[in-house]
């Protein structure tokens, strides 16, 4: 202890406790809470932007080749006439003459693909991961383990800046000649390299550079998180006394650390394919528009897929695990009893982390892999569903016999459970090789993964925002509008993604810029497997539900900002009466979080301990 | 509250923070280079023909020795700090950085040799590998045609085309240069169907070679920069927090050993096999 | 210093082994030999220069997991490109 004091003294002298200037305190901060909020605000902005991209796409799907109302003109001005076409109509003037009027705003297939690729990229890499891992992780984890900050605060700051830079590059790609990347968020070669042959530096190049920045950000963040959880746990905070949220973030950190680098390597190779004419992923004899392209050949498109999905699969667990952690915390707090099966939860999350690295080729069943290796991946995929079910079951069972408080965070957390259940269960036919042959790249897949991420993860994240808002700001968000936000979001989420299962089972494929109209019975009569009008018309219902879902977020956005100044003030530092350590700090927590290192005496969920004075016993309360 | 365990290790893990951090980072680097190695294996196994003997083995061996030496010197640098011998630390650290610069310098020479080595295909179907008079960098067929060049003077590596070039004639090339033994053929640009230096776009072999060694060299340069920073600005920290400087040198050393490790695998895989 | 010497010897050994005759007829054996020597050298660097031989459990655990996943990446990808359904061959 003496040595730590000695070092603290020297660092103390160097630290000089005067007020930091605005730039150092808010813009270039090394404080994990400020960085967490930076991540949070930026990520929520990207979440909204990604949503708007999809909203535009849904118009094209519902009313193919109809100009987008309201914003059509703006889109054309911003993105150019190559991307946004116009419809020429004859207008009859009052005096009987006819003039031709151009109505701008028709989404070209190229624009549809660009919006589609960027919707996926932005949602996954710029919105959900930074929110779940960067924002919540940064803000909550050091507080929950009793640490003064992250173990490498300056690296933390750089990690945010890399993320911000990556976001800027991704957004900039919309405005360069040729437009943004348009080969799917999966950027399969050879399409990714040949989508825009007229420009050497095209949207795909920007995408790749952006990804390198984002991957760097995630890697630095992952190192920080893991090292912090290993080294900076407070006295008495043993591994099995950690809140489940911290375990979830710990495993997420490992997933990011070990899974991202192969994608970084692949990204560099694809960048070289695009800019320096190499052939890492371009096979020999590739013919485009009747001409063999002038590259050396000898590459392997499959190699890109393997490297991408090696990250891609752990990535989806990165998307879900933090949300599971948040939901676990909120359920424990709002049932006033300990979580059921804490040990099972911990072992399951470790198992998920480990197994997630060896299931990736279930995204590649249709690439012609042999039966033995397909069976291998099918088996590991089935095995990984077990720990996921264990976690879900444990959370469900935690509700039994609880004294449930139905506040807004709890509503979102409760809804997470069946929504994630649907998402997970619908993944099973996709995990089996045989059934996946029919369902691969259909709307069934889109419905499956959106159920897990949208009413799954996002509900978990919303729950977290409503839950930890009082700790960060000292005020509650408005409860009434929170419930309105919840009910509307819940209803519309299901109306958007539920019908997509039907569309997928009917055989409607993904990424069709006209919503499948070309393959409908009307336009392709007599073709085996053509889509019925019912399936095509579902597009309109889904689109309307999606736009209403967007409107349903307005109460949330207003609530978020309004409550900063006018929300109900908290009356104690622990407004939810929770047991975990983040509620034992002042509100908002000061720089350094705790005045002196807290000492932990209990597990994380000592609610309703028999013989205790209150129905919750904070972790640092002595036995 | 200040961040603990920056210098003194934590009791139950036995580690100080930066050491945990660097090992985690190195784990991610293992996956990065691992992915590139896997790509190398896959591309090679899937190829009908894979060149052999195009890389200079003696130079590669020498570079390997340089890097191993630098690993030794960085350990000595750390040991000197542990024994409170700051001047010795400065000597060993300088030696390490010089080795790093030597490695990069030799690599640059190797790269330049590749970029001035050309492969041509003629209209009559012949393929030849060799040098162009004057050793220009990065010529391409498009450039020649744009500049309306009529002929090039080309010295093939051996009398009979690519097959001979693959048989380790490379090692003899520098000597042949000096001896001026080249016979330059005049080739009409209009006869050429393909002309390219040994650049990544020429074939997948060079693509993966340049990517692997390029990324490795970037790590060498990065490590050298960090060590230069520690060398130049270490004096101040040595006077105020000597243990912290020692730990920084240890952590930088760990990164450096990793860079050496990657090369230990790169050398046989690329040069010898 | 002993390690340094061992590493230099290992390097020379690798180069010499690659020039042996069996490399032309049995390239697979040649690759195996080279990789074994490289592994020994890397064990020396990691064990002694990086002090891994006396390192703590946490570091071992991280590295062991990483090694496993690297092996999985390389192995499973290679396997997938060589396991074909009946009556098909894919030329990548």
Residue A447 sits at φ, ψ, to 5 deg, of -60, -45
CB burial readout B20-49, b (16+ within 10 A) else e = bbbbbbbbbbbbbbbbbbbbbbbbeebbee
- Residue C87 touches partner A, C-beta closer than 8 Å: no
Let me know how many helices (H) and strands (E) chain A has, helices first: 21, 4
In angstroms, the CA C76 to CA C85 distance is: 16
Tell me: pLDDT of A227 over 90: yes
Cis peptide before A190 (omega within 30 of 0): yes
In angstroms, the CA A375 to CA A381 distance is: 10
Q: Which residue would you say has higher pLDDT here, C65 or A221? A: A221
Confidence of residue A2 (pLDDT cuts 50, 70, 90): very low
Let me know: does B80 contact B92? Beta carbons within 8 Å.
Answer: yes
In angstroms, the CA B141 to CA B135 distance is: 16
Longest dimension (CA), chain C: 58
The per-residue pLDDT for C91 is 55
Q: Which residue would you say has higher pLDDT here, A92 or A157? A: A157
Question: What average pLDDT does this structure show over A215-240?
Answer: 95
Set of chain A residues whose Cβ sits within 8 Å of the Cβ of B201: 276-279, 295-296
The per-residue pLDDT for C89 is 66
C 23-62 residues with CB < 8 A to A: 58
Confidence of residue A18 (pLDDT cuts 50, 70, 90): low
Q: Give the closest residue to A385 by CA, choosing from A358, A349, A421, A424.
A: A424
In angstroms, the CA A335 to CA A403 distance is: 5
Q: Which residue would you say has higher pLDDT here, C39 or A563? A: A563
Could you report the per-residue pLDDT of A252-279, keeping only the tens digit for each?
999 999 999 999 999 999 999 999 989 9
> Which residues of C sit within 8 Å Cβ distance of B?
1, 3-4, 7-8, 11-12, 14-15, 18, 27, 30-31, 34-35, 37-38, 41-42, 45-46, 49-50, 56, 58-59, 62-63, 65-67, 69-70, 73-74, 77-78, 81, 91-92
Mean per-residue pLDDT over chain C, rounded: 78
CA atoms within 13 A on the CB side of A426: 25
Count of all residues that appear for chain A in the document:
623
Could you report the per-residue pLDDT of A99-132, keeping only the tens digit for each?
888 899 999 999 999 999 999 999 999 999 999 9
Architecture of domain A33-61+105-285+295-576+578-582: Up-down Bundle (1.20)
Let me know: does A542 contact A446? Beta carbons within 8 Å.
Answer: no
In angstroms, the CA A180 to CA A170 distance is: 8
Q: Give the closest residue to A575 by CA, choosing from A234, A245, A334.
A: A334
In the numeric block, which tokens belong to residue A234? 């407070």
**Sign of the alpha-carbon torsion through A487, A488, A489, A493:** positive
Q: Give the closest residue to A425 by CA, choosing from A458, A454, A457, A392.
A: A392
Interface test with C, best of A231, A263, A369, A374 (most C CBs within 10 A): A369
Let me know: does A323 contact A457? Beta carbons within 8 Å.
Answer: yes
Tell me: pLDDT of A10 over 70: no
In angstroms, the CA A586 to CA A475 distance is: 13
Q: Give the closest residue to A259 by CA, choosing from A309, A319, A217, A220.
A: A309
Let me know: does A588 contact A474? Beta carbons within 8 Å.
Answer: yes
CA atoms within 13 A on the CB side of A546: 27
C85 → closest Cβ in A258, A357, A368: A368
Let me know: does A278 contact A296? Beta carbons within 8 Å.
Answer: yes
Count of all residues that appear for chain B in the document:
273
Domain boundaries, chain C: 2-80
Bridge partners, residue B185, by sequence? B154
The conformation of residue A176, written as its DSSP 8-state character, comes to S
B34 → closest Cβ in C30, C56, C70: C70
Tell me: pLDDT of B34 over 90: yes
In the numeric block, which tokens belong to residue A356? 């997630």
Let me know: does A196 contact A233? Beta carbons within 8 Å.
Answer: no
Question: What average pLDDT does this structure show over A163-177?
Answer: 95
Set of chain A residues whose Cβ sits within 8 Å of the Cβ of B208: 280
From residue B16, alpha-carbon distances to A281, A617, B7 in Å are 42, 32, 6
Count Cβ atoms within 10 A of the Cβ of residue A86 and give its class: 0-12 exposed, 13-18 middle, 19 or more buried.
Answer: middle
Question: What average pLDDT does this structure show over A550-563?
Answer: 96
In the numeric block, which tokens belong to residue B161? 């085309």
Q: Do A371 and C69 touch (CB under 8 A)?
A: no
| Residue indicated by tokens 């999809």 | A54
Q: Do A7 and B241 touch (CB under 8 A)?
A: yes
SS3 helix, strand, coil % of chain A, rounded to 5?
65, 5, 30
In angstroms, the CA A264 to CA B156 distance is: 39
Confidence of residue B177 (pLDDT cuts 50, 70, 90): very low
Question: What average pLDDT does this structure show over A184-197?
Answer: 90
Could you report the per-residue pLDDT of A30-48, keeping only the tens digit for each?
999 999 999 999 999 999 9
Domain boundaries, chain A: 33-61+105-285+295-576+578-582
In angstroms, the CA B201 to CA B197 distance is: 9
Q: Give the closest residue to A497 by CA, choosing from A453, A439, A441, A436.
A: A453
The per-residue pLDDT for A61 is 94
In angstroms, the CA A391 to CA A219 distance is: 27
The per-residue pLDDT for A459 is 97
A 250-289 residues with CB < 8 A to B: 257-262, 264-266, 268-269, 272, 276-280
Q: Give the closest residue to A590 by CA, choosing from A177, A216, A32.
A: A32
Count Cβ atoms within 10 A of the Cβ of residue A593 and give its class: 0-12 exposed, 13-18 middle, 19 or more buried.
Answer: buried
Give the DSSP per-residue string, A137-166.
IHHHHHHHHT-SS-S-HHHHHHHHHHHHHH
Mean per-residue pLDDT over chain B, rounded: 86
Q: What is the ipTM of this complex?
A: 0.91
Let me know: does B210 contact B112? Beta carbons within 8 Å.
Answer: no
The per-residue pLDDT for A28 is 87
Confidence of residue B182 (pLDDT cuts 50, 70, 90): low
Least confident of A169-183, A225-239, B174-188, C7-21: B174-188
| Residue indicated by tokens 């109209």 | A517
Tell me: pLDDT of B216 over 60: yes
Tell me: pLDDT of B166 over 90: no
In the numeric block, which tokens belong to residue C7? 């590493």
Let me know: does A73 contact A105? Beta carbons within 8 Å.
Answer: yes
In angstroms, the CA A229 to CA A251 distance is: 11
Tell me: pLDDT of A608 over 70: yes
Q: Which residues contact B15 (CB under 8 A, 6 or more apart)?
A: A230, A231, B5, B9, C56, C58, C59
Tell me: pLDDT of B168 over 60: no
The per-residue pLDDT for A231 is 94
Q: Which residues contact A230 (CB under 8 A, 6 or more apart)?
A: B13, B15, B20, C58
Confidence of residue C48 (pLDDT cuts 50, 70, 90): confident
B 188-217 residues with CB < 8 A to A: 199-204, 207-208, 211, 215
In angstroms, the CA A30 to CA A265 distance is: 29
Interface test with A, best of B24, B40, B141, B251 (most A CBs within 10 A): B24
Mean per-residue pLDDT over chain A, rounded: 92
The per-residue pLDDT for A14 is 40
Count of all residues that appear for chain C in the document:
92
Q: Give the closest residue to A471 by CA, choosing from A417, A413, A409.
A: A409
Could you report the per-residue pLDDT of A512-550, keeping only the tens digit for each?
999 889 999 988 888 888 899 999 999 999 999 999 999
Residue B208 sits at φ, ψ, to 5 deg, of -75, -30
In angstroms, the CA A247 to CA A322 distance is: 9
Q: Give the closest residue to A544 by CA, choosing from A63, A120, A46.
A: A63
Confidence of residue B176 (pLDDT cuts 50, 70, 90): very low
In angstroms, the CA B7 to CA C79 distance is: 46
Domains and their CATH numbers in chain B? 22-113+204-272 (1.20.120.80), 117-197 (no CATH)
Could you report the per-residue pLDDT of B85-144, keeping only the tens digit for each?
999 999 999 999 999 999 999 999 999 999 988 888 888 888 888 888 888 888 888 888
Highest mean pLDDT among A479-488, A512-521, B34-43, B177-186: A479-488
- Residue C92 touches partner A, C-beta closer than 8 Å: yes
Rounded to 5°, angle at Cα A267 from B102 and A450: 150
Could you report the per-residue pLDDT of A470-486, keeping only the tens digit for each?
999 999 999 999 999 99
Let me know: does A255 contact A318? Beta carbons within 8 Å.
Answer: yes
In angstroms, the CA A514 to CA A519 distance is: 10
Edge-first strand order for the sheet with B127-132 is B185-188, B151-156, B127-132, B117-122, B192-197
Number of CB atoms found within 10 A of residue A372's CB: 13
Give the β-pairing of B117-122 and B127-132: antiparallel
In the numeric block, which tokens belong to residue A99? 């003039």
Share of chain B above pLDDT 70, in %: 91
Tell me: pLDDT of A172 over 90: yes
Highest mean pLDDT among A591-595, A603-607, B179-183: A603-607
- Residue B267 touches partner C, C-beta closer than 8 Å: yes
Question: What average pLDDT does this structure show over C6-13?
Answer: 82
In angstroms, the CA A364 to CA B164 distance is: 42
Share of chain A above pLDDT 70, in %: 97
The residue of chain A with its CA nearest to that of B3 is A148
Interface test with A, best of B31, B192, B195 (most A CBs within 10 A): B31
């Amino acid at each position: 202890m003496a040595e730590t004091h000695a070092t603290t003294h020297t660092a103390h002298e160097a630290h000089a406790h005067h007020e930091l200037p605005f730039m150092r305190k808010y813009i270039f901060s090394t404080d994990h809470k400020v960085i967490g909020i930076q991540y949070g605000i930026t990520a929520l902005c990207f979440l909204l932007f990604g949503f708007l991209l999809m909203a535009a796409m849904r118009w094209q799907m519902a009313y193919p080749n109809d100009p987008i109302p309201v914003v059509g003109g703006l889109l054309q001005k911003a993105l150019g006439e190559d991307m946004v076409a116009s419809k020429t109509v004859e207008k009859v003037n009052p005096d009987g003459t006819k003039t031709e009027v151009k109505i701008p705003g028709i989404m070209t297939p190229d624009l549809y693909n660009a919006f589609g690729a960027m919707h996926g990229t932005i949602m996954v890499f710029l919105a959900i991961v930074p929110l779940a891992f960067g924002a919540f992780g940064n803000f909550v984890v050091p507080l929950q383990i009793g640490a003064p900050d992250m173990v490498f605060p300056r690296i933390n700051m750089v990690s945010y800046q890399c993320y911000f830079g990556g976001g800027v590059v991704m957004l900039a790609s919309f405005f360069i000649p040729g437009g943004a990347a348009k080969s799917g968020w999966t950027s399969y070669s050879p399409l990714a390299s040949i989508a825009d042959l007229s420009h050497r530096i095209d949207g795909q190049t920007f995408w790749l550079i952006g990804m390198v920045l984002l991957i760097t950000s995630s890697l630095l963040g992952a190192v920080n998180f893991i090292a912090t959880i290993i080294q900076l746990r407070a006295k008495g905070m043993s591994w099995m006394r950690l809140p489940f949220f911290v375990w979830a973030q710990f495993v997420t950190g490992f997933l990011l650390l070990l899974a991202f680098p192969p994608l970084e390597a692949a990204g560099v190779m694809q960048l070289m394919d695009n800019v320096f004419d190499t052939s890492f992923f371009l096979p020999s004899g590739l013919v485009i528009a009747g001409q063999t392209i002038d590259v050396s050949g000898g590459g392997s498109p499959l190699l890109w897929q393997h490297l991408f999905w090696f990250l891609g699969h752990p990535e989806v667990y990165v998307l879900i695990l933090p949300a599971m952690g948040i939901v676990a915390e909120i359920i424990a707090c709002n049932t006033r009893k300990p979580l059921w099966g804490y040990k099972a939860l911990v072992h399951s999350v470790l198992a998920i982390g480990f197994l997630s690295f060896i299931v990736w080729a279930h995204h590649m069943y249709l690439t012609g892999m042999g039966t033995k290796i397909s069976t291998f991946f099918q088996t590991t995929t089935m095995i990984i569903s077990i720990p996921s079910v264990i976690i879900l079951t444990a959370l469900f069972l935690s509700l039994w016999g609880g004294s449930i408080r139905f506040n807004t965070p709890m509503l979102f957390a409760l809804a997470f459970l069946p929504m994630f259940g649907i998402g997970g269960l619908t993944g099973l036919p996709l995990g089996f090789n045989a059934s996946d042959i029919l369902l691969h790249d259909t709307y069934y897949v889109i419905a499956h993964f959106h159920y897990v991420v949208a009413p799954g993860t996002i509900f978990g994240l919303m729950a977290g925002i409503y839950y930890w808002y009082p700790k960060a700001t000292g005020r509650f968000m408005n409860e009434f509008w929170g419930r309105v936000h919840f009910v509307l979001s819940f209803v519309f989420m299901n109306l958007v993604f539920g019908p997509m299962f039907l569309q997928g089972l009917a055989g409607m494929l993904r990424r069709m810029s006209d919503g499948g109209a070309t393959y409908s019975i009307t336009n392709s009569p007599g073709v085996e497997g053509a889509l019925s009008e019912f399936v095509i018309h579902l597009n309109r219902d889904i689109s309307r539900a999606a736009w209403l879902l967007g409107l349903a977020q307005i109460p949330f956005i207003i609530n978020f900002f309004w409550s900063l100044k006018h929300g109900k003030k908290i009356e104690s530092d622990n407004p939810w009466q929770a047991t975990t350590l983040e509620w034992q700090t002042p509100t908002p927590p000061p720089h350094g979080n705790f005045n002196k290192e807290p000492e932990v005496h209990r597990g994380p969920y000592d609610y309703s301990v028999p013989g205790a004075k209150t129905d919750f016993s904070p972790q640092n309360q002595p036995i | 509250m200040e961040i603990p365990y920056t210098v003194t290790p934590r009791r139950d893990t036995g580690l100080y923070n930066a050491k945990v951090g660097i090992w985690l980072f190195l784990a991610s680097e293992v996956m990065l280079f691992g992915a590139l190695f896997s790509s190398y294996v896959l591309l090679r196994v899937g190829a009908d023909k894979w060149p052999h003997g195009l890389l200079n083995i003696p130079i590669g061996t020498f570079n390997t020795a340089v890097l191993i030496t630098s690993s030794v010197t960085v350990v000595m640098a750390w040991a000197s700090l542990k024994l409170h011998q700051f001047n010795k630390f400065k000597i060993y650290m300088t030696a390490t950085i010089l080795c790093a610069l030597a490695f990069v310098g030799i690599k640059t020479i190797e790269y330049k040799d590749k970029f001035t080595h050309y492969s041509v295909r003629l209209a009559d179907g012949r393929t030849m590998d060799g040098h162009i008079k004057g050793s220009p960098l990065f010529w391409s067929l498009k450039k020649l045609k744009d500049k309306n060049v009529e002929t090039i003077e080309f010295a093939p590596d051996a009398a009979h085309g690519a097959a001979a070039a693959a048989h380790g004639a490379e090692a003899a090339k520098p000597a042949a240069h000096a001896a001026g033994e080249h016979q330059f053929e005049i080739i009409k640009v209009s006869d050429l169907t393909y002309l390219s230096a040994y650049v990544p776009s020429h074939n997948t072999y060079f693509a993966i070679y340049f990517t692997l060694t390029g990324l490795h060299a970037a790590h060498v340069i990065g490590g050298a920069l960090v060590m230069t920073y520690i060398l130049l600005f270490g004096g101040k920290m040595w006077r105020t927090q000597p243990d912290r400087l020692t730990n920084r040198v240890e952590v930088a050393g760990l990164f450096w050993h990793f860079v050496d490790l990657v090369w230990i695998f790169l050398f046989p895989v690329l040069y010898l096999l | 210093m002993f390690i340094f010497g061992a590493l230099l010897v290992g390097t020379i050994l690798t180069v010499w082994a690659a020039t042996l005759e069996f490399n032309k007829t049995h390239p697979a054996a040649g690759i195996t030999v080279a990789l074994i020597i490289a592994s020994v050298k890397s064990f020396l660097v990691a064990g002694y220069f990086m002090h891994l031989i006396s390192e703590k459990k946490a570091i071992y655990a991280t590295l062991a997991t990483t090694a496993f996943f690297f092996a999985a990446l390389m192995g499973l990808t290679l396997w997938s490109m060589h396991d074909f359904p009946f009556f098909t061959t894919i030329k990548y």
